[in-house]
């Protein structure tokens, strides 16, 4: 068991068919990662959805997410993050990720919040998201702690359009969550609001969990444990991966398939 | 409201990259469908998984399932069946299916069983399936009625290899479920065991729900209600579909994409 | 396995001590049943409750419901419907119904809604009903999908008094359910509102499930499966019926007992 | 608020169509009741079921149970016990019981056990009972504490045939519950095993809750609180009783109807 | 089995570091106890918290609660009540209480309410209490019956300052619970509101369960059953107490330790 | 937001009245901590329990745990670990810990396991632990993932007596959990088995989560997030701490009280 903080290697997947977020997110993460963490930000080939506000869009990228998980496995990544708060395809990615730990921003956020507050709310963009995200939170076991889902009525593509406006809407929705629903912490329910949590936290004075920060830090922690203690994903029972012979004979997961852009953060 | 049994049109999707099951399943269904039901059996282009025993494989076909749902919507199908007991992609397919009702064999089977018995077991091929199928049954609200999952230790590709052997294994596992777990009805947890339920039922003397029979009959019933009462999928709240403008501008769902083979049953 | 749609025979029980609803409901069902379905509408002898808005009233007719289930069993009915949204006595009726499938309007409605929407509300007549119906919906496993119960503050005997008024109240309550509670489909929580769903559906543009339509169509579907696949109620475990010897020696279920009126719909 | 232990009046209903158990149960209760408690043991007219091992039988006596509850209300009983471990018709009886508190042996037993142990098992006569009793225990909120249901394979009419044999079977089943299922207390799941708990308790050295003892003592306690604190059943919300005008005009609940035998214990 | 109402001996613990409530509570209980019940009211040594509105305060007295439970065990008490609606330390006290039954006001209140109403609300002093008390109610299995928690915004030390004001606030909050949340009975969520329930009950006309009355009466009832039927706490499984040898060798539970004041009510 | 891995300060509490484990655990942690993490290992004054296998013992140390949490708050610790798998007093400690994040080994372990496997089992020392630990796992929301609790029948004081024997028992119990219960990962349910997980993991080839490793790494991660993002415990709603004025005037939490031994790991 090594003692120095292991230089963890992370694959961060922006699961959309556009490279536009890769560099800004990468830059943002450069500012918060541990000194020696290496992050590989990738997105998919053009031609796919450019956000995942609908189940249809998630379904159309989920194949590429699995291909990215395979890429993480074969390139020896310690952890991989599926960079969307719906954690799309996380169960399947965990099956095929080899010894790479797969982290979802939603699961990371609720686990952290579960250490800081007895009840929390999630700030969502639109009503549309509520049922699916509620189900996710329940799947992870945190349904009893969910005070509410509070919408700000902004679509994903507009979240970064006027950051000040978005922040104001979050603060208002957050205040409703605290005052009316009994929330004690807030989770921002989209990876596209990165950079805003500090202003909100200053104003509302409860922990504001940003899913990018949460996912990156949990990826560093779990990636480190994998390095130190060999705590890699289980491969028995329901975690059994498909046989390599089948994958090969059907030609299912050619190397590098799906990935359209790579941005390195060292 | 029409009074004669409406001639329901059904899209049956074999969600694998092989046309091999299309004709045998179609022929089987010809023998059990209502006289005037029209069934369009489709499978996907070659190059994809040939069974869905792993989450990875499901993830790789889920995009094509959505494309098939779009096809059902634009070609005016009354109902569509996702022909796999995992009901892969059912929530997403329901979002994009227009006015086509989407039916899953697992959901159809538990709903029927819920009218015939207080507790039931599911016969599964392998241990690997248990956790995911258990979760499905819980998602549909039938977890409290689930007596057990009983495996027969046969992989999907081998289920139809020696039907007599498979039937014997099902009978044995079913007897365990009845005697030890308190099952009062059995559900066969794979669409690849079609044709076997009657022999098992004769032997065990409890209702044996075959998922193909179940899904087809529920598709006929729900497709008929859609015709008569306009009971099509909801399109508000979490059922809101993506905007057509985005779909078009990103070129996401070209007509007929994904489908590799069609077999007509009239 | 026959291929033509089997001519299903259904016993429809209006579980009250008055024949007043038998003909109007029968006529209504004549307009929506499959061409060759045969429906036998029955009600109980005079002297019993004339609606079931209270548990006390249900308790007073439940013996007759069981006698009707026995009647269905001995007269070879394929399916029986207990024509009240509380589904009173459904578990007991299923025990004694022989090979007749027993259908409840509430269970039928939630199963159909579960294929069309992720969340639904039930429109109830009065606050009084809410706790008991909520429990029913939970018993069937659909509690997680229940957005709300919305009352219209009309007692059962008045529901058909001024249909236009009732419809307007339903539309208003339904709109609240959709806008405030996140309902994506509505279920009308009383069999006495028959004939109203279409106007409501036209106005609110989400699926409006009428329990009579729902129960009749599920009875046709399940009755048909019973004919084709021998999927009759289980008779083992908790589904074990009482011994015939005891029934006979105690004189418990004399033929035809309880039924006061019959109305045939062919 | 009176200070002396109030002389509580209890209606004990043996909900079967036979007076055979009235005197022996009455005598048994005479030996365990508080000095000044008055117990009125009643059973129903001949012609009904003589035990309630099947849902069908319960359904056939539930009307009489409601009539007995009405009798309790009009004759000023402080508490009424429905003398069967299924607690048949308890919700309906509570609606029509006026200011009489209605006690069920199953609910009384689980509430007492919940003060004495973290987990308990129920000893049942036959497998047939398990699903329904499990549901009851869950309805009362004690599902998480239920270690198991252990059957002794004796039908109700035979439980008192050879008491020593029955006791030995209970001890054996109880030992399995303790050793294999983690039970810390046992509940005897039938009111027909009265008189046996002490021998079993001596042998197994965990609390053995007899449902008659439990129900009588809770009836005395709750009846006393009703006397002292006016804690009678709620009559609002779902506890609203039917209007007297309807009951009268339909002639539903004539005085004394249903009761076939009375045995007084003073 | 004795037949006369057994003279039950109860240890009532006011779990705070002040004797101030001992006499007033004792006097209050003298007015409502059974004639021959003996109550020993105790509180803890000075220097500890004087109310338990915070988890921190509970944690600081929980050691003394256990010492009091030991005292109850060694002095042959039939029942012990932990006189705070949070029921602090109840699971631990039950482990070490020997043959003394341990009663909590919250558990007693929900068990009684569960016999009188289908849904109830709890009136709490402040928002702060809601999460913890909700969890308690769920732990006891009554979460499905909980209509709401309604705060009156009064801190514990002020509850008895102006009783009329407190009562008015309770009536207002109770009315909200009944009208808006569907409560059918109310539980007063603090042992410091003793003496007020009757005025509230008169006004709101639903059962108002005072936790002191509830706990005392359940202690009398359960203490009596212990006397008559030997229904003492289980001592197997998770109820296994620590070995006496360890307790002695570590000097953990010296006689009388912790208790600061005693007030006898005969 | 600092970029270099922040030098996190952790208070590790061995919640027993003996310093015996402080140095060995400290040495063990020195080998696995991040290079610049500072750990302060403390235990309590002599005279208290020396292990926490019973609820009674936990209750007797919970006051000192709260005093340690206060110590952590006032000495500016980033995180505090309650070094026992029962996570005793964690909710109370989180209330009074100021801006120190409180970590429990059980919660840390299930959160990590939830990223590596769909189902896991906990290896416990004795049957006695099962009910309480099961409840803990459910409280944290991981009950649905709990495959089983498997006991090795060794008391806490003997766990480190013959480490090879303990490891062999763990391997055997773990194999049962994997083969019979469907566990995909294992959690060691006691902090006293430290040092053994690697041998077990090598043998069983599934992730073996040691609670000390898990708690330390989560404390480093959460402590780091507190440093970087100000994600400290919420202080609103149910997380509101007691007023300082009361603490002071009652003299409740004198500095350093409770702590008996300190061992520094730098």
Given F49, F55, F92, which is nearest E250 (Cβ)? F49
For the beta carbon of residue D260, count every other beta carbon within 10 angstroms: 18
Q: Which residues of A touch C182 (CB under 8 A)?
A: 127, 130-131
Burial annotation E90-119 (CB, 10 A radius, 16+ → b, else e): bbbbbbbbbebbbbbbbbbbbbbbbbbbbb
pLDDT digits 0-9 by tens, F111-145: 999 999 999 999 999 999 999 999 999 999 999 99
Q: Which residues of D touch F127 (CB under 8 A)?
A: 182
Contact of B127 with chain F, judged by CB distance below 8 Å, is answered with yes
Q: Are B130 and B121 in contact (CB under 8 A)?
A: no
Q: Which residues of F touch D182 (CB under 8 A)?
A: 127, 130-131
Q: Which residues of E touch F129 (CB under 8 A)?
A: 238
Beginning with the edge strand found earlier in the chain, give each strand of the sheet holding E38-44 in spatial order.
Answer: E101-103, E79-82, E9-14, E38-44, E259-265
For the beta carbon of residue B252, count every other beta carbon within 10 angstroms: 22
Q: Which residue, among C244, C261, C259, has the nearest Cα to C65 in the 3D structure? A: C259
For the beta carbon of residue F241, count every other beta carbon within 10 angstroms: 17
Using a threshold of 3 CB pairs under 8 A, tell whether chains C and F touch: no
Alpha carbon separation from A96 to A40, A80, A243, D175 (Å, rounded) = 19, 12, 10, 46
Does pTM surpass 0.90?
Answer: yes
For helices D105-116 and E105-116, angle between their N-to-C axes, nearest 10 degrees:
170
Q: What does DSSP say about strands B259-265 and C185-188: parallel, antiparallel, or unpaired?
A: unpaired
Low pLDDT (below 50) residues in chain B = 1-2
Contact of E62 with chain F, judged by CB distance below 8 Å, is answered with yes
In sequence order, the 6+-apart residues with CB closer than 8 A to the CB of C161 are none
Contact of B47 with chain C, judged by CB distance below 8 Å, is answered with no
Gap between the Cα atoms of F200 and F174, Å rounded: 9
Gap between the Cα atoms of A43 and A27, Å rounded: 15
DSSP code for F233: P
Using a threshold of 3 CB pairs under 8 A, tell whether chains C and A touch: yes
pLDDT digits 0-9 by tens, F35-73: 999 999 999 999 999 999 999 999 999 999 999 999 999
Question: CB distance E1–D32 less than 8 Å?
Answer: yes
pLDDT along chain A (266 residues), means of 10: 68 96 96 96 95 97 97 97 97 98 98 98 96 98 98 90 93 98 96 90 98 98 98 98 97 89 92
pLDDT of residue E2 exceeding 50: no
Q: Are B83 and B51 in contact (CB under 8 A)?
A: no
Q: Which residues of C touch E182 (CB under 8 A)?
A: 127, 130-131
Residue of F nearest to A111 (CA): F111
pLDDT at B1: 43
Question: CB distance D250–C59 less than 8 Å?
Answer: no
Burial annotation A25-51 (CB, 10 A radius, 16+ → b, else e): bbebbeebbbeebebbbbbbeeebbbb
pLDDT of residue F1 exceeding 50: no
Give F183 to chain A, closest Cα distance, Å.
7
**Average per-residue pLDDT for chain E:** 95
Residue of D nearest to B179 (CA): D127
Give C241 to chain D, closest Cα distance, Å.
7
In sequence order, the 6+-apart residues with CB closer than 8 A to the CB of A200 are A167, A170, A171, A174, A186, A188, A208
Q: Which residues of D touch E232 (CB under 8 A)?
A: 116, 207
Contact of E45 with chain F, judged by CB distance below 8 Å, is answered with no
pLDDT at D2: 43
Contact of D242 with chain F, judged by CB distance below 8 Å, is answered with no
Contact of B126 with chain F, judged by CB distance below 8 Å, is answered with no
Q: Which residues of B touch F119 (CB under 8 A)?
A: 131
For an interface test with C, the pick among E116, E118, E181 (most C C-beta atoms closer than 10 Å) comes out as E118
Gap between the Cα atoms of D61 and C93, Å rounded: 14
First-residue to last-residue Cα distance in chain F: 24
Q: Are B58 and B82 in contact (CB under 8 A)?
A: no
With residue D150 as reference, give the H or E element that holds it.
Answer: strand D146-151
Q: What is the total residue count of chain D?
A: 266
Q: How many CB pairs under 8 A join E and F?
A: 104
Q: Which residue, among F78, F124, F81, has the nearest Cα to F104 in the 3D structure? A: F81
For an interface test with C, the pick among E116, E117, E144 (most C C-beta atoms closer than 10 Å) comes out as E144
Residue % of chain F over a pLDDT of 90:
89
Using a threshold of 3 CB pairs under 8 A, tell whether chains A and F touch: yes
Contact of E131 with chain A, judged by CB distance below 8 Å, is answered with yes
Contact of D8 with chain C, judged by CB distance below 8 Å, is answered with no
pLDDT digits 0-9 by tens, C142-172: 999 999 999 999 998 888 888 899 999 999 9
Q: Which residues of C touch D92 (CB under 8 A)?
A: 55-56, 58-59
Q: Are D207 and D71 in contact (CB under 8 A)?
A: no
pLDDT tier, F4 (very low <50, low <70, confident <90, very high otherwise):
low
Give C62 to chain D, closest Cα distance, Å.
6
In sequence order, the 6+-apart residues with CB closer than 8 A to the CB of B23 are B41, B263
Q: Which residues of B touch F118 (CB under 8 A)?
A: 131
- Phi, psi (5° rounding) for residue F88? -65, 135
Using a threshold of 3 CB pairs under 8 A, tell whether chains B and E touch: no
Note down pLDDT in tens along chain D; length 266 residues: 445 556 899 999 999 999 999 999 999 999 999 999 999 999 999 999 999 999 999 999 999 999 999 999 999 999 999 999 999 999 999 999 999 999 999 999 999 999 999 999 999 999 999 999 999 999 999 999 999 999 999 998 888 888 899 999 999 999 999 999 999 999 999 888 888 999 999 999 999 999 999 999 999 999 999 999 999 999 999 999 999 999 999 999 998 788 999 999 98
* Mean pLDDT along residues E216-241: 98
Contact of B182 with chain D, judged by CB distance below 8 Å, is answered with yes
Interface chains of chain C (3 or more CB pairs under 8 Å): A, B, D, E
Residue of C nearest to A127 (CA): C182
Q: Which residues of F touch D119 (CB under 8 A)?
A: 131
pLDDT at C4: 56
Question: CB distance F184–A234 less than 8 Å?
Answer: yes
Using a threshold of 3 CB pairs under 8 A, tell whether chains D and F touch: yes
pLDDT of residue E5 exceeding 60: no
Q: Are F100 and F75 in contact (CB under 8 A)?
A: no
Q: Which residues of D touch E201 (CB under 8 A)?
A: 230
Which residues does residue F53 pair with via DSSP β-bridges, in sequence order? none
Question: CB distance B59–A60 less than 8 Å?
Answer: no
Which range has the worst mean pLDDT, A161-165, E179-183, E254-258?
A: E254-258
pLDDT digits 0-9 by tens, D119-166: 999 999 999 999 999 999 999 999 999 999 999 999 988 888 888 999
For an interface test with C, the pick among D45, D58, D60 (most C C-beta atoms closer than 10 Å) comes out as D60
Residue of F nearest to D119 (CA): F131
DSSP code for A119: -
Contact of E71 with chain F, judged by CB distance below 8 Å, is answered with no
CB contacts under 8 A, F 243-262 vs E, are 246, 250-252
Q: How many CB pairs under 8 A join B and D?
A: 5
Contact of D228 with chain B, judged by CB distance below 8 Å, is answered with no
């Amino acid at each position: 068991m090594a003692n120095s903080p292991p230089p963890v290697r992370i694959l961060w997947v922006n699961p959309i068919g556009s490279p536009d977020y890769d560099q800004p997110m990468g830059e943002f993460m450069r500012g918060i990662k541990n000194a020696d963490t290496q992050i590989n930000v990738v997105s998919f080939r053009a031609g796919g959805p450019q956000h995942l506000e609908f189940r249809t869009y998630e379904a159309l990228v989920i194949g590429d997410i699995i291909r990215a998980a395979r890429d993480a496995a074969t390139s020896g990544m310690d952890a991989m993050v599926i960079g969307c708060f719906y954690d799309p395809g996380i169960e399947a990615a965990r099956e095929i990720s080899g010894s790479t730990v797969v982290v979802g921003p939603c699961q990371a956020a609720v686990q952290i919040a579960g250490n800081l507050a007895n009840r929390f709310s999630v700030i969502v963009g639109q009503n549309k998201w509520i049922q699916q995200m509620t189900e996710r939170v329940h799947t992870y076991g945190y349904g009893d702690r969910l005070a509410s889902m509070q919408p700000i009525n902004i679509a994903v593509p507009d979240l970064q359009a006027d950051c000040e406006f978005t922040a104001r809407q979050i603060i208002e929705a957050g205040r409703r969550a605290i005052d009316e629903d009994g929330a004690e912490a807030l989770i921002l329910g989209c990876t596209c609001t990165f950079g805003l949590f500090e202003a909100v936290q200053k104003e509302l004075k409860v922990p504001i969990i940003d899913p990018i920060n949460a996912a990156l830090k949990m990826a560093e922690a779990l990636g480190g444990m994998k390095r130190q203690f060999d705590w890699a994903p289980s491969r028995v029972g329901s975690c059994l991966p498909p046989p390599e012979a089948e994958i090969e004979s059907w030609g299912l997961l050619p190397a590098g398939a799906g990935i359209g852009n790579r941005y390195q953060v060292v």
